[in-house]
């Protein structure tokens, strides 16, 4: 077979293999959603095993002559991921955040799968058996995973800002700003690009420990903050209570603040007086993650919650200094 014919055949086989891989991924997606609707996709199978197996399958099918370069094999995950993203957006209607979180893991896992297949390709005697085995691995992983208990890790995200105002002037703002206007706060990647909600307003009901701050973060997104520490001019802290998380699904149904794999627990402000009638305002938020990739989750938690905190602190500073 001439080189041009091989190239054309490889292209056709790649497209066919990607289509088959997407169909298989759709089956696994449906099975995981049905079996574990609260956490099925945040699983070792879907995040790591499935992309490695699918990319290895596509790479092997696309190279029946076993002559393609290592670079061509490592590009397969990029092609598969592009197809997955297209299907996720236009057919599954997944949110931007879910796709952003998924992409690095699928890319790296896929590269691991194709690199292994590149190394083993000349040792494989029965291609059909090899491809069948690749597709069986995610299905077997789905059966084993419910028997595994993933660790729960707690993390704290902290941001601070220096404000040209006294603690007494800042204290009323920490109790709640009921009328956040469009454009207030600070531009950030998480809220302005990826779509995490922005605060619309917050109102304190009661005084002291045991009081409740009612938070409004946009259409159908409401939650309560139960006050656990109340020191006027010094500190305020609370526990989060998400009585109805359905509204968060409008942003991303897999990014719930009180789910099986993610729980945003508590937070608070601290005021530290500085010379020159200035104050350092520190905001912290604690959350727990129960996933097979807690370290990876922590990196995103630092970005997402850090952006949210930077926006809140910018809002407080703007109101206090105007």
Q: What is the pLDDT along the chain (322 residues), one digit of tens a residue?
A: 445 666 677 778 888 999 999 999 989 988 888 877 666 678 899 999 999 999 999 999 999 888 889 999 999 999 999 998 888 877 666 677 888 888 999 999 999 999 999 999 999 989 999 999 999 999 999 999 888 899 999 999 999 999 999 999 999 999 999 999 988 999 999 999 988 889 999 999 999 999 999 999 987 789 999 999 999 999 999 999 998 766 666 556 667 888 888 999 999 999 999 999 999 999 999 999 999 999 999 999 999 999 999 999 999 999 999 8
Distance CA 139, CA 224 (A): 41
Distance CA 69, CA 52 (A): 18
Domain boundaries, the chain: 3-147, 152-321
In 10 A of CB 80, how many CB atoms?
27
- Token pair for residue 177? 């700003």
Distance of CA 199 to the CA centre of its chain: 20
Q: Which residues, 6+ apart, have CB-to-CB distance to 37 below 8 Å?
A: none
Superfamily of domain 152-321: START domain (3.30.530.20)
For the question of whether the overall pTM of this predicted structure is more than 0.85, the answer is: yes
pLDDT value for 43: 87
């Amino acid at each position: 077979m001439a080189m041009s014919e091989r190239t054309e055949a490889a292209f056709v086989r790649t497209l066919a293999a990607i289509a088959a891989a997407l169909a298989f991924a759709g089956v696994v997606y449906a099975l995981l959603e049905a079996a574990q609707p609260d956490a099925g996709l945040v699983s070792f199978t879907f995040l790591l095993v499935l992309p490695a197996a699918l990319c290895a399958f596509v790479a092997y099918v696309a190279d029946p002559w076993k002559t393609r370069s290592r670079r061509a094999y490592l590009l397969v995950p990029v092609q598969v991921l592009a197809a997955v993203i297209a299907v996720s957006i236009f057919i599954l209607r997944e949110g931007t955040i879910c796709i952003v979180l998924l992409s690095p893991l699928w890319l790296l896992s896929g590269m691991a799968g194709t690199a292994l297949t590149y190394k083993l390709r000349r040792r494989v005697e029965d291609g059909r058996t090899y491809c069948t085995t690749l597709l069986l691995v995610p299905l077997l992983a789905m059966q084993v995973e419910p028997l595994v208990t993933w660790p729960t890790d707690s993390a704290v995200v902290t941001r601070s800002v220096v404000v040209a105002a006294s603690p007494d002037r800042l204290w009323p703002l920490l109790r709640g700003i009921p009328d956040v206007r469009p454009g207030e706060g600070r531009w950030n990647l998480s809220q302005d690009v990826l779509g995490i909600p922005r605060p619309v307003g917050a109102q304190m009901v009661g005084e002291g420990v045991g009081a409740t701050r009612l938070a409004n973060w946009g259409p159908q997104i409401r939650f309560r903050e139960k006050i656990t520490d109340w020191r006027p001019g010094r500190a305020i802290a609370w526990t989060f209570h998400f009585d109805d998380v359905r509204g968060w699904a409008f942003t991303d149904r897999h990014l719930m603040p009180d789910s099986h794999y993610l729980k945003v627990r508590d937070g608070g402000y601290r005021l530290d007086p500085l010379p020159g009638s200035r104050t350092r305002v520190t905001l912290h938020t604690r959350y727990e993650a129960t996933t097979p990739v807690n370290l990876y989750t922590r990196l995103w938690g630092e970005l997402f919650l850090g952006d949210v905190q930077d926006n809140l602190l910018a809002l407080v500073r703007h109101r206090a200094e105007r």
